[in-house]
Structure 1
Amino acid sequence: MDGPRLEVLRHQLHIAWSLTELVVDGLTDRECHWSPAPAAWGVRRAEDGDWYPDWVEPEPDPPPVTTIGWLTWHIDMWWSMVYDHAFGAGALQPGKIRWAGDATAAVARVQQLHEQWATALATLSEGELDAADRTGWPFPAGSPFAQVVGWVNVELMKNAAEIGQLRRIYRHRDPAAPLEDHQ
């Protein structure tokens, strides 16, 4: 039976997803590769044809500025990891996740992850939010699953806000300023 916590968490996901859809609608490759600052983290095509993110663990302090392409990879990475650890084998590693290759594919991947996650949440019961057997990334094993679900909502909203802000800056930048693309 659904309870108040599950209803709130599903509603939060709906709100975060609605914002995400708004900010990725019409996303272009040019926007994904535009560098908003020198040394911004982006996604780059390697000789093997795959797209790799600029990324190290632990993240530098302060964290670097990122491109929109990097942010779409980041959503793919953390959501893939959470889903695999909560509903899959729990064997996926962040370094194995590549960027989708273009804006259209990146948005499609994020949409796919949302559909998987929303479908999985639709099957949960209120009691399963307290279960500790669905955690392990990004929280320590033994954490209540409600923490993971709440974190997904917050992380998606944060990443959507970052993409939205970068798209606004991109649209209003000085047209005479050079575009530093990451490709």
Structure 2
Amino acid sequence: MTSDIQNVLRNQFELTWALFEYHLERLTPDDLLWEPAKLCWTVRPDSIGNWRADWSDSALDPIPVPTIGWLTWHIGWWWSTAAAHARGAVPPDRTAVLWPGDLAKTLGWMRALRDQWSHILEDITDLTRPAVFPWPPEARRSTADQFAWVNTELMKNAAEIGQLRLLKAARDA
């Protein structure tokens, strides 16, 4: 049963990644920090040049529209956290996850995370063990649930990036 579920998760991940890669291959440097609305979350260099993401610990209404740069930072943060949990390692603190600062480095980061996750998917032997992220232990979710969540979250973020890319291209046409 584990190998059947593992195959479904792997195939779902590969499909999700292919759709994400479609948009990654078409990004331009100008796409990353394009702000599609007045209320926007983005990434900005701090006083020493580290790129940090806008963030609020309280619920915002309305929710700021993210830039592609912010979305790629967000992917890097949650995926690094999910990978750490899957390996039994300590996840990075949100504030320690920095955006790379340009298109080439961002694409490299996204693809390195993909490779890392592919290895985790290949190496997992017990999809029934309790997941630690993104749910609390009392949720009683399994590692299979966690891996399915990664696929879903990546698909959502890929669609958001794709939509922003298309909106900017239409605006610029």
TM-score by length of 1: 0.87
Query: Is the contact between residue 53 and residue 70 of structure 1 (CA under 8 Å) also seen in structure 2?
Result: yes
Query: Could you say if the C-alpha distance between residues 162 and 60 of structure 1 is closer, same or farther in structure 2, counting changes exceeding 3 Å?
Result: same
Relative contact order: is structure 1 or structure 2 higher (C-alpha 8 Å, sep ≥ 6)?
1
Residue among 123, 132, 135 paired with 1:136: 132
Q: Tell me by how many angstroms 1:138 deviates.
A: 1.4
- The aligned counterpart of 1:53 is 53
- 1:27-176 equivalences in 2 (<5 Å): 27-125=27-125, 128-132=126-130, 135-141=131-137, 142-173=140-171
Q: Tell me by how many angstroms 1:99 deviates.
A: 0.5
Distance 2:134 2:96 in 1: 16
Deviations 1:53-97 (A, max 9, x none): 011224424421110111110110100111112214224211211
- Percent identity, please: 40
Q: Tell me by how many angstroms 1:173 deviates.
A: 0.6
Query: Is the contact between residue 128 and residue 143 of structure 2 (CA under 8 Å) also seen in structure 1?
Result: yes
Q: Tell me by how many angstroms 1:29 deviates.
A: 2.1
Query: Could you say if the C-alpha distance between residues 61 and 145 of structure 1 is closer, same or farther in structure 2, counting changes exceeding 3 Å?
Result: farther
Q: Number of aligned pairs?
A: 171
| Unpaired runs of at least 5, structure 1 | 176-183
Query: Is the contact between residue 16 and residue 157 of structure 1 (CA under 8 Å) also seen in structure 2?
Result: yes
Query: Is the contact between residue 86 and residue 120 of structure 2 (CA under 8 Å) also seen in structure 1?
Result: no
Query: Is the contact between residue 2 and residue 127 of structure 2 (CA under 8 Å) also seen in structure 1?
Result: no
TM-score by length of 2: 0.92
More helix by share: 2
Query: Is the contact between residue 16 and residue 154 of structure 2 (CA under 8 Å) also seen in structure 1?
Result: yes
- 1:48 is paired with a residue whose SS is coil
Query: Is the contact between residue 19 and residue 158 of structure 2 (CA under 8 Å) also seen in structure 1?
Result: yes
Please, what is the CA RMSD of the aligned residues? 1.6
Query: Is the contact between residue 27 and residue 104 of structure 1 (CA under 8 Å) also seen in structure 2?
Result: no
Query: Could you say if the C-alpha distance between residues 136 and 57 of structure 1 is closer, same or farther in structure 2, counting changes exceeding 3 Å?
Result: farther
Deviations 1:114-154 (A, max 9, x none): 100111111123xx11101xx32211135311111000000
Q: Tell me by how many angstroms 1:2 deviates.
A: 5.0
Distance 2:105 2:25 in 1: 12
Q: Tell me by how many angstroms 1:24 deviates.
A: 0.7
Q: Tell me by how many angstroms 1:168 deviates.
A: 0.5
- 1:73 is paired with a residue whose SS is helix
Query: Is the contact between residue 42 and residue 54 of structure 1 (CA under 8 Å) also seen in structure 2?
Result: yes
Distance 2:132 2:9 in 1: 19
